[in-house]
Amino acid sequence: MAVCDICNIPGWGIPVSASVFRTAVQNGFCPFRLHLDNDMGIPNIRDTWRREALASHTDWNLCATCHSALQPYI
């Protein structure tokens, strides 16, 4: 089943291409700082997430909430 790639809400949301998403991350988009995701107390999860997001070449599936949070960064 499809889930939002950021907050894991079930369902198909809005597709975002990998290159657009990388641009947003480079512009400072961070789901943990925006409280879209729970960091679960894992040390360095933000750095790890950012590195993996910048390396990803797979399109992202974002729910409406996460997609609107992304807009200022693209």
Residues that bind Zn ion (CB under 5 A): 4, 6-7, 63, 66
Two tokens at 21? 């998403």
Q: CA dist 26 to 1, 3, 9, 74, Å?
A: 29, 23, 24, 9
Two tokens at 18? 């990998």
- For the CB of residue 63, give the shortest distance to Zn ion in the complex, in Å: 3
- For the CB of residue 72, give the shortest distance to Zn ion in the complex, in Å: 16
Q: Which of residues 1 and 43 has its CB atom nearest to Zn ion in the complex? A: 1
- For the CB of residue 47, give the shortest distance to Zn ion in the complex, in Å: 21
